[in-house]
Structure 1
């Protein structure tokens, strides 16, 4: 039986993007919450919790971007000009944030606060820009033939701005639950309180985006709100609500690992809902993964490389997280 290469590549890129959202999401979330550190020692602990792993997390962003270029070049050629500015802002913010990791630990007390600002605002701006990209993608693109024909700022709408804010809230939740798992004492106690507020804020954002998205596209509305789809797809919102309840209970029960795992589960369900809404379009609202696919010879050639590279990335990721497992304290960290 012949392999459906565009479908396989869609799955690979989808997994890569999801892994990036999760893994870079929580360390961006730590940056978003960075000002909540009560003093320099707590802020050192917060940064130390992600300093050894943050750059490896971004490997998944590279995998997703290069995979899109190789497997779906038409999509790449449309998405890049359509979302040029938010992507550029995201990359610049990630650069400033990455530099802050190295320079902050070497700065003296007179200049250290500048790198605190770089880390915090770089994290917020990078996250918000990713939300703008996601919102612009959901809205769809104006395409004629094989070219993007829309305006430079078509991505900038109330919907995309709200999605940007929602992603900041979501990443902050991942960051708070990560710090619950990795820290102790007053910092951990404060993260429990922040996480409880952020869960409610994230549920509100999920609800608004879930209602707003079908209003943007009649086909999405038909997919979710017509019979029998409404019954077949109802497990997604139901499980999301149940998972949120369990997450709140785990926070009240002062669990340490469960809140982080359950927060990742919430992101998975949101990601699944987005996939259901947009499938099978790689360029909403009209260009499917099969329309945008590169020649099968190209996809096969690059797939061989991915099959070699992906196990190496997974091994490195698991190994690094294993090495740096456990709590981070003021006496143990990155220097």
Structure 2
């Protein structure tokens, strides 16, 4: 039996993207929440909750990008020119955010500028990621195995909305992370912020769930024809149940479970994307088999990833274990 290597790589890259979204998402969310906290001591604690792990989280973005380049070169060569502007904006924002992590605690007179770099970089990077996702969902113009569209094809009301929705989602993820990692007045403020963010997140999920099939007949056919509607119905049902459970967790102060429930909501959203577009890798027409590199290249890369992924999972798990528990004022990783 021949192994379907493009299928394996499709899910490997999807796994790397999912790990980046959920792991760096809360770190970006902490930065998005920064303007809601004026106390410098609170801001110190907020940054200290993510300082030990933020740079390791971004390993998954590199892993996903490298896998896309090697396993699906057509997709890589299409996404870069099609999404060049939001991708560059995202990378520049992440650079400024990284600088803030390194210099904020060592600065006195310029600390407000590093606060701005941390918060602004988080917001712009998140919004750019949403614009990239919205542009891909809208579809890219590919002719003769190359991008044939313009530099602003990614720009649309739908992509703008996805950017705003992702900011709200990451902010909720960041709030739930801070609830788990902090205590006292900072934690109470995070509970207060989590309530409206939960409502906004549910509304955004509902709007995207309606807007996408209305704008894309392929997605509508995938979800609303028989028997697909029976097979895929657990996803929206689980979204509703999990959203209610998150609200209940915020109301009844469930510290640890709340963060993992919000993570679950993100995983359901990503699974909904896979259901909507599989086996496409470049909507609206290019499948993963069309975009795949040679079998020899994919097999060679697969051997490397079979070694790398367990190592990355091991050191990631170990770093979170070492820095487990609450972060308090005056404590941190510098």
TM (norm. structure 1) is 0.98
Hey, what does 1:44 align to over in structure 2? 44
Distance 1:242 1:256 in 2: 18
- State the Cα deviation string for residues 154-186 of structure 1 (Å, max 9, x = none): 101000000000000000000000000000000
- State the Cα deviation string for residues 273-292 of structure 1 (Å, max 9, x = none): 11111110001011100111
Q: Does 1:225 align with 2:221?
A: no
* Aligned pairs, number: 334
Q: Does 1:83 align with 2:62?
A: no
Q: For structure 1, list consecutive stretches of 5 or more residues without a partner in the other structure.
A: none
Hey, what does 2:165 align to over in structure 1? 166
Hey, what does 1:92 align to over in structure 2? 92
Distance 1:283 1:318 in 2: 33
Cα distance, 1:252 vs structure 2:
1.0
Distance 1:201 1:226 in 2: 29
Distance 2:250 2:205 in 1: 20
Query: What is the root-mean-square deviation of aligned Cα atoms in Å?
Result: 0.8
SS state at 2:281 partner: strand
Hey, what does 1:264 align to over in structure 2? 263
Distance 1:238 1:52 in 2: 36
SS state at 2:253 partner: coil
SS state at 2:118 partner: helix
- State the Cα deviation string for residues 55-101 of structure 1 (Å, max 9, x = none): 00000000000000000001101111000000000000000000001
SS state at 2:106 partner: coil
Distance 2:65 2:112 in 1: 33
Distance 1:304 1:213 in 2: 37
Q: Give 1:234-245 correspondences, 5 Å limit.
A: 234-245=233-244
SS state at 2:52 partner: coil
Distance 1:123 1:270 in 2: 21
Distance 1:290 1:282 in 2: 9
- State the Cα deviation string for residues 160-213 of structure 1 (Å, max 9, x = none): 000000000000000000000000000000101111111110010011111111
- State the Cα deviation string for residues 201-237 of structure 1 (Å, max 9, x = none): 0010011111111122211111112222222211110
Q: For structure 2, list consecutive stretches of 5 or more residues without a partner in the other structure.
A: none
Q: Does 1:204 align with 2:216?
A: no
Q: Does 1:20 align with 2:39?
A: no
Q: Give 1:225-304 correspondences, 5 Å limit.
A: 225-304=224-303
Runs of 4+ deviating beyond 3 Å: none
Distance 1:8 1:233 in 2: 22
Q: Give 1:2-21 correspondences, 5 Å limit.
A: 2-21=2-21
Distance 1:150 1:334 in 2: 46
Cα distance, 1:38 vs structure 2:
3.6
Cα distance, 1:331 vs structure 2:
2.2
